Amino acid sequence: MAIPVSIEQLVHGGVVESTQIEFKGGFNPNPIMHAICAFANDIDNIGGGYLIIGIDEMDSKPVLPPRGVP
């Protein structure tokens, strides 16, 4: 089952990190692989999730602007 949400809602809509949404500020391979594996394993059968790379998180909320964007 897909999450019915757009990238605008993910970044600007007050969405917080959860079992289906993960924000990563940089492309550090280890945390990225861990998040991908967690979504692929899908133990709770929730249908995967979204991994947003380039946006940091603080208190499970996205920190804007994205890295590298003034």
Assess whether pLDDT exceeds 80 at residue 24: yes
- Is-contact 47 19, C-beta < 8 A? no
Helix, strand, coil % over all residues of the chain, rounded to 5:
25, 20, 55
Half-sphere exposure of residue 13: CA atoms within 13 angstroms, side-chain side: 9
Q: Is residue 70 in a domain?
A: no
pTM score of the predicted model: 0.74
Enclosing domain of residue 42 = 7-63
Q: Is residue 31 in a domain?
A: yes
Q: Is residue 68 in a domain?
A: no
Q: What is the pLDDT of residue 30?
A: 93
Q: Is residue 2 in a domain?
A: no
**Considering its fold, how many domains does the chain have in total?**
1
Q: What is the pLDDT of residue 8?
A: 79
pLDDT, tens digit, 9 for 90 and up, residues 45-57: 777 778 888 988 8
Q: Is residue 1 in a domain?
A: no
